[in-house]
A = this chain, B = another copy of it.
């Protein structure tokens, strides 16, 4: 059952880091949730940073899986991209936790030493750009233009995802629900407009 404990600690660490951030969580907090001492945690992970790094690594692999799933879901690049971005808005618990953690990482990685963590993003963005450039009319567009397209959508859905608790606090559960219905429509409308027409072609 060694692997079991380790995996459970990783999961708890992910949830807590997503909720309160790297500095807002102590290794004792994480161990406590399993009735363990922090030394037991340090037996499985040599340092707090390594533990965090492991969480980040797992998540970056999940992002790859997400990309692969989107790619195999359809032959139409437009459908692929739309289902991918819609996935971020769906309020699965796991999705929300991942998005929160990655948003924190985006805010923090400039300052924490392990810049290696930032490169999960590079691979993910590269895949996204590649996918966008299979859209009809986007084949010969410069990379930066395709990146601008996907980054804009990525920003919209990620921001919306992490805002969910606050939005519920401000507008209530009913208001948040109404917003959610509108948001998906609005997102689809904008994606439709953003994807379908090739922008001004000049290189």
Contact = CB atoms under 8 A, between A and B. Distances in A.
Interface of A: 19-24, 100, 103-104, 106-111, 115, 118-119, 121-122, 125, 142, 144-145, 147-149, 151-160, 162-163, 165-166, 169-170, 175, 178-179, 181-183, 185-187, 189-190, 193-194, 199
Contact of A103 (B20, B22, B107, B151): B107
Contact of A149 (B119, B125, B186): B186
A54 to B, nearest CB: 21
Contacts of A163: 106, 151, 155
20 contacts: A19-B111, A21-B24, A22-B24, A103-B107, A110-B166, A115-B169, A142-B178, A144-B175, A145-B182, A148-B183, A148-B186, A151-B159, A151-B163, A152-B186, A152-B187, A155-B157, A155-B158, A189-B194, A193-B193, A193-B194
Contacts of A189: 194, 199
- Chain A interface secondary structure, helix, strand, loop or mixed? helix
Nearest to A163: B106
A190 B193 contact: yes
B107 A145 contact: no
Contact of A154 (B21, B100, B159): B159
Given A107-B104, A158-B159, A179 B20 contact: no
Contact of A185 (B107, B148, B194): B148
Contacts of A183: 148, 151-152
A153 B121 CA distance: 22
A173 B170 CA distance: 39
